[in-house]
Structure formats: structure tokens, C-alpha cells
């Protein structure tokens, strides 16, 4: 394997069509598309400043590396990536990719990050700021995610999330086959227009959650005191610890809670309009 160490590179495509290459303490300065149409690349202790540095790369590892703001849209159309202990300040990372594994990564501008990707594994990752991370992606496994970006996990499929803290707006819209375990989700209008959405031992906060959903399941979950007008037009099967502030027009299913405040069933309810709403019996 060829090694490049302790150097700076700039300009257009300085490492175009490189293969079996190790970069150690390399700085990519100005220019664009530094590492393009490459394979079997190892990147460690590097610093990326120029834009589009890693496109059409097949099989690569990135560790202890920094992507500056100028390195926008840094990883697109690539596959088989393992990234560890890395800080990303650039937006629009990870587009049209498959087979990504990220561990101990911080993304400080998650704007349009993880778009149209498949087979993503995320462990101990933090994403901040920006909008629509993970949109249109599928086959995602997450453990210990911290997220405060807006509109997280929209239009995703086949997602499993554990031990995460997600504070956002409009999370999990138009999703399919998503399960969230042991997590805190604070989101206005959580989960609208989704199919097969399941929460297990989660705490949920935010107004008007979990509406317009086909096959919504809550197991041993808690709803925050601000969760009003929940479950409108949803098919819901919910076992809720504690109090539910208000429920509006659930379409069908069964809701059980320790106590329930206002229940709104009006002329606008959709059929079959047979949801059972019950106080738990001791």
C-alpha cells in the first residue's frame, strides 16, 4: 500500500483514481474532488478543507480526521465506509451511499446529511443543527445518537434506534418499519403519516404527537405533559405509563394509560371509529 504522510495537497483531483493508498496527517487545502474514483483508501489524522474530497470511493476507512466547513458535500456516491473518532463541521455529508459504519463521530452541521443512503450503522454519534438528516435512507441501525437537527428521520424505512436522545421538529414523518427503544424523543407533530411505527420504553414530548399513522405501537412508554391532541386518525395500540393530557379522534385500536385527561371524539372521526380508550386497572 502506498503511503502519503505529513504533506499538503491542493488543486483539482490531486489523487484521482488512486488505489491501495494510506493518507496519514495529510491536509487537503483548496480545490475540489481530491480523492475521486478511488478504492481501498485509509485516511487517518487528516484535515480536509477543500470541497467534495471523497466522491466515488469504494472501500475506505476514516479515523481521527477533521472535515472543515469548506469540505462541504464531502462523501457522495461511495460505499463500504468505516469512520471513527472524527469531527465534521461541513454540511451535506453522505449522499447516495451504502454500507456506512460510524462510531464516535460528531457532525456539527447535519444539514442534508445521510440522504438516500442504505445500510447505515451509527454508534455514539452526535448530529447538530441543519435540516432533514437521514431523509430517504433505509436499513439503519442506531445506538446512542444525540440529535438536535430539525426534521430528523423523514421518509426513512427499516430503522432500529436504541438509547438515543432526539430533540427536533417533525421527526419520523412518512416513515415505514421504524422501532425506537429506550430513548427520549422531543418533537412537535411526531411520526405523522407513517406506517409500522413502534416505541418501546420511550419518553415522548411535544404537541400533537403520533397522528395519521397505520399500525402505531407504544409499549411501556411515557407521554410528557405537553403531549396534547395525541393519536388523531391513527390506528394505535398503546400501553402508556402515567398520564395522557388529551386524545383526539383515534381511528381504531386500544389505548391504556394510568390516567387520561380530555378525550375528544367528534363528528370528524374516521372509521371504523372503534378505538378502546381505558384507564389501567390496578
The confidence score (pLDDT) of residue 63 equals 98
Instruction: Give residue 166's domain range.
Output: 66-279
Strand partners, 279: 257
144 falls within a domain: yes
Helix (H) or strand (E) holding 261: strand 252-264
Angle at 199 between CA 195 and CA 205, to 5 degrees: 105
Measured CA to CA, the distance from residue 274 to residue 41 in angstroms comes to: 58
49 falls within a domain: no
The confidence score (pLDDT) of residue 281 equals 84
| Non-local CB neighbours of 23 within 8 Å, separated by 6+ positions | 4, 5, 41, 42, 43, 44, 46
Parallel, antiparallel or unpaired: strands 54-63 and 35-44: parallel
For residue 197, the SS3 value is strand
Angle at 252 between CA 249 and CA 241, to 5 degrees: 80
Residue pair 147/133 in contact by the 8 Å Cβ criterion: yes
Measured CA to CA, the distance from residue 76 to residue 100 in angstroms comes to: 12
130 falls within a domain: yes
- Integer Rg of the chain from CA: 22
The confidence score (pLDDT) of residue 1 equals 85
Measured CA to CA, the distance from residue 107 to residue 65 in angstroms comes to: 12
231 falls within a domain: yes
Alpha carbon of residue 219 to chain centroid: 21
Residues in the chain: 282
Count how many domains the chain has: 1
Q: What separation in angstroms does the CA of 38 have from each of 32, 33, 197?
A: 15, 11, 39
Distance from the first to the final alpha carbon of the chain: 67
Residue pair 74/90 in contact by the 8 Å Cβ criterion: yes
The confidence score (pLDDT) of residue 135 equals 97
28 falls within a domain: no
57 falls within a domain: no
Q: What pTM was computed for the model?
A: 0.95
The confidence score (pLDDT) of residue 134 equals 98
Helix (H) or strand (E) holding 205: strand 203-205
213 falls within a domain: yes
pLDDT by residue for the chain (282 residues), tens digit each? 899 999 999 889 999 999 999 999 999 998 899 999 999 999 999 999 999 999 999 999 999 999 999 999 999 999 999 999 999 999 999 999 999 999 999 999 999 999 999 999 999 999 999 999 999 999 999 999 999 999 999 999 999 999 999 999 999 999 999 999 999 999 999 999 999 999 999 999 999 999 999 999 999 999 999 899 999 999 999 999 999 999 999 999 999 999 999 999 999 999 999 999 999 987
83 falls within a domain: yes
The confidence score (pLDDT) of residue 31 equals 85
Measured CA to CA, the distance from residue 26 to residue 37 in angstroms comes to: 19
Alpha helix positions (H), the chain: none
Residue 225: other Cβ atoms inside 10 A: 11
Amino acid at each position: 500500500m502506498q503511503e502519503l504522510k505529513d504533506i499538503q495537497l491542493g488543486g483539482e483531483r490531486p489523487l484521482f483514481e488512486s488505489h491501495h493508498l494510506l493518507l496519514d496527517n495529510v491536509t487537503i487545502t483548496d480545490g475540489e474532488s481530491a480523492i475521486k474514483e478511488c478504492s481501498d483508501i485509509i485516511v487517518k489524522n487528516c484535515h480536509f478543507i477543500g470541497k467534495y474530497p471523497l466522491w466515488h470511493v469504494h472501500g475506505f476507512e476514516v479515523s481521527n480526521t477533521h472535515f472543515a466547513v469548506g469540505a462541504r458535500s464531502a462523501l457522495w456516491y461511495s460505499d463500504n465506509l468505516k469512520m471513527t473518532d472524527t469531527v465534521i463541521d461541513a454540511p451535506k455529508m453522505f449522499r447516495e451511499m451504502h454500507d456506512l459504519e460510524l462510531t464516535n463521530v460528531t457532525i456539527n452541521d447535519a444539514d442534508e446529511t445521510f440522504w438516500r443512503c442504505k445500510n447505515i450503522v451509527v454508534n455514539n454519534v452526535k448530529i447538530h443543527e441543519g435540516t432533514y438528516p437521514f431523509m430517504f435512507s433505509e436499513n439503519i441501525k442506531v445506538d446512542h445518537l444525540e440529535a438536535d437537527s430539525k426534521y430528523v428521520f423523514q421518509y426513512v424505512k427499516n430503522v432500529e434506534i436504541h438509547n438515543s436522545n432526539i430533540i427536533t421538529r417533525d421527526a419520523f414523518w412518512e416513515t415505514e418499519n421504524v422501532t425506537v427503544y429506550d430513548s427520549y424523543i422531543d418533537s412537535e407533530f411526531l411520526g405523522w403519516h407513517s406506517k409500522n411505527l413502534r416505541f418501546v420504553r420511550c419518553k415522548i414530548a411535544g404537541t400533537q404527537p403520533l397522528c395519521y399513522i397505520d399500525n402505531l405501537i407504544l409499549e411501556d412508554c411515557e407521554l410528557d405533559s405537553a403531549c396534547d391532541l395525541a393519536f388523531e386518525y391513527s390506528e394505535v395500540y398503546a400501553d402508556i405509563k402515567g398520564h395522557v393530557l388529551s386524545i383526539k379522534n383515534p381511528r381504531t385500536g386500544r389505548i391504556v394509560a394510568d390516567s387520561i385527561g380530555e378525550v375528544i371524539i367528534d363528528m370528524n372521526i374516521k372509521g371504523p371509529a372503534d378505538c378502546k380508550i381505558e384507564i389501567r386497572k390496578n
